[in-house]
Amino acid sequence: MALLMQTEIDGIYCGNDLIAIGAIKALKEKNIKIPEEVKIIGFDDISISQYIDPPLTTIKQPIYQMGEEAVEMLISMIEEKSIKMTKVLETILVERGSS
């Protein structure tokens, strides 16, 4: 909250949805309107994100695909196959009421 008092910001991007939910709570305690004064975006799209007030805008990551890719990579490593150690998976912006 000290950052809010020292500078003018209009948005906060949080590393995960739980942090974003905490940021929403802290801003509301200071009577800062979301999204009119400060926009909030999370990352994960956990199920509770759609039920908070305001509903959280978030970036959805393909968690099941991440697990599948990790298992495939691990099996390839165990079998000593040549594998690419970097995978880029598509994310989706889920727009709700906090941005």
- pLDDT tens for the 99 residues of the chain, in order: 566 666 788 899 999 999 999 999 999 998 999 999 999 999 999 999 999 999 999 999 998 999 999 998 899 888 888 877 788 899 999 999 998
Are 38 and 97 a contacting pair, CB within 8 Å? no
Rounded distance, CA 98 to CA 5, Å? 21
> Whose structure tokens read 């008092």?
5
Determine the Cα–Cα distance for residues 69 and 86; give it in Å rounded to an integer: 10
Q: Is residue 24 part of a domain?
A: yes
Flag whether the pTM goes above 0.75: yes
Domain span at 62: 2-94
The tokens describing 46, both together, are: 């956990």
CATH number at residue 50: 3.40.50.2300
Report CA dihedral (18, 20, 25, 31) to the nearest 10 degrees.
Answer: 180
Total domains, the chain: 1
